[in-house]
Structure 1
């Protein structure tokens, strides 16, 4: 990341959102991995990053394939005999929720309750937040914090192979309870709770968006859908082109740390800059004929996962889920088709389908 620009953090929040202490959501967001800089960010990222190495993600491949197949069984039942089903409800949300839930430690039985909480917490990504946005986000963050505090309480007596258990060992003071190989400051209880909230919600919110927009892109480009059906090895390329063409995170914010110049425009220190990732993904200098959706596009360099210090930890996992879903979906349902008007999520902070009605006998 360019050192001339930082993400908005608590210091920025103090100056710009004077009433931030009234909002649990602001306290959560502006001290999270998404909104910390320098050493504070590096410390948190190192702790979480161990669960998202290439080796660990590769180990999840069979789990992702199995979970995808199970969810598509339910989708097949719901669309049998000409039925119509909401893809997002039956597959687009449950798949990433199950995968990241397994990583974090959320039982499958609990996952259904988080879809609305995730959407409400996601209002924090809106560039302009209304009082209603703040109210929804505050309620969601309070409920999520309560849930994960209780999960940690359970993990203290019933440990498991998950992120919650592994980070608990780094939550104690510098005593024998702390791992001998740890050279990091121990996490506070609140930091640990907030890490779990962020990893879980970010892990399903954005990937839910990706799965829905990828399926929609293929269904509205039948020539590309037919190509992937004939050559299922193109599933990963279809996901990459979907990220470029209609990615789930269209923009991100940065703060100028010093006077700078971008594209001939002078930017004063302290100015807020909105970087439109969606526009960069359609830059004709980088991607010729950028408004055309083609899964055979070469040299794709998407900005959808950001870059530098804030590159998305879950990028490889999201790609793995997307490729598994596309490969199985197009191979299993040759008559797959849109079956009604999709409903886009309100707001501009995240691009996702609230509802994506599909049929399998189109």
Structure 2
């Protein structure tokens, strides 16, 4: 199966709505048929092998689409607030521009600061599980994502940044709408939702910075303002607002996805959940295996800085490649028996958080939240079970449950 028509068909099958439960079977077929497949309508080359994806994400020959690309290739997007934000943010900058924006965040997401957040994460997880226990105490079901999966990362990153608890619930919908920017093909509806969400979020975080300038607090918003005022961080105030916007939305959207996906993986593999209940020391490895087996980001795009080759295929300067992280994480050349979910799997080094200059700065915090929550969830609810089909995010790029009904007692 090596002709373009067959490979295109396999790819479209993997990205189709009816493959949301399992895009991995068609992606494995695509990897076998054409591990570097140029999809001409999208004009990008889909990469499905671990080594190829890692090389593209880590090496200097590829960069993210940035504002120069936007002006050159998509000038019709220039007046869109969402595009203005995305292609000037950490996600859409390269080289020195990227380093300038990322540098002020080093302390906020460094190892020491993440360790300091551990007690807050654990306390918040306990509070949310109390609420989940109350909701399921009559033997009925409750939506894990609504009660725990989303509120935990929203509270954690909101507290870190300085978003008051009373304001946090409004960000669920806005975050989902802003995340439509990550879709490989953006419809007119996607743009409308993303533009409205970015406009509202920019206004919110600009107001938050004005509040912190008048009344500083011990949060990241105040710290960034102080560093900018002292010229330790040469970042303009509107850029600070965009940094906070990105941190907040990215900090809860993908982590909420990770939490729901991991709970689902464990409940559909009860033997693996039993291992964790017996030996909680396996929890960090279980989170890594969940990220490998079904991570929250399926794919991400890069552009060739100059004419180069990927697995013997020439990519011209400016040519697009799409690293399919989900397929790479199940590459049998990297992981034996890749479709098995095994919490004791050795040597798991996922690409789920990216690699290279754009490695996710919040990866350690997401892992901390997942380990803290899962250990408590499994210990507290030995009869935890799925109570119906979950509702998956309608997205070709982000994998998450919008709803995940669970019950805490057996049938």
TM-score by length of 1: 0.96
SS of equivalent to 1:83 = coil
Separation (CA, whole Å) in 1 of partners of 2:105 and 2:114: 13
- Bigger mean CA deviation after superposition, 241-250 or 231-240: 231-240
SS of equivalent to 2:322 = strand
Deviation at 1:21, TM superposition (A): 2.0
Q: Is 1:150 equivalent to 2:198 in the alignment? A: no
Q: Is 1:88 equivalent to 2:145 in the alignment? A: yes
Separation (CA, whole Å) in 1 of partners of 2:76 and 2:237: 24
User: Does the 8 Å contact 1:123/1:349 carry over to 2?
Assistant: no
Q: How does 1:12-91 map to 2 (within 5 A)?
A: 12-91=69-148
Runs of 4+, deviation exceeding 4 Å: none
Partner of 1:246: 294
SS of equivalent to 1:22 = coil
Q: Is 1:236 equivalent to 2:293 in the alignment? A: no
Partner of 1:215: 263
Deviation at 1:171, TM superposition (A): 3.5
Separation (CA, whole Å) in 2 of partners of 1:101 and 1:95: 10
User: Deviation string for 1:296-316 (max 9, x for gaps)?
Assistant: 000001000101111110000
Deviation at 1:263, TM superposition (A): 1.2
Separation (CA, whole Å) in 1 of partners of 2:359 and 2:138: 44
User: Deviation string for 1:61-95 (max 9, x for gaps)?
Assistant: 11111100000000000000212100000000000
Separation (CA, whole Å) in 1 of partners of 2:402 and 2:240: 30
Deviation at 1:337, TM superposition (A): 0.2
Q: Is 1:311 equivalent to 2:368 in the alignment? A: no
Separation (CA, whole Å) in 1 of partners of 2:404 and 2:80: 33
Q: Is 1:5 equivalent to 2:62 in the alignment? A: yes
Q: How does 1:1-362 map to 2 (within 5 A)?
A: 1-172=58-229, 178=230, 182=232, 184=233, 186-362=234-410
Separation (CA, whole Å) in 2 of partners of 1:80 and 1:229: 21
Structure 2 unmatched runs, 5+: 1-57
Deviation at 1:349, TM superposition (A): 1.6
Structure 1 unmatched runs, 5+: 173-177
Partner of 1:175: none
SS of equivalent to 1:255 = strand
User: Deviation string for 1:23-70 (max 9, x for gaps)?
Assistant: 100000000001100000011111112100000001111111110000
Separation (CA, whole Å) in 1 of partners of 2:155 and 2:178: 19
Deviation at 1:235, TM superposition (A): 1.4
Deviation at 1:190, TM superposition (A): 1.2
Separation (CA, whole Å) in 1 of partners of 2:227 and 2:118: 28
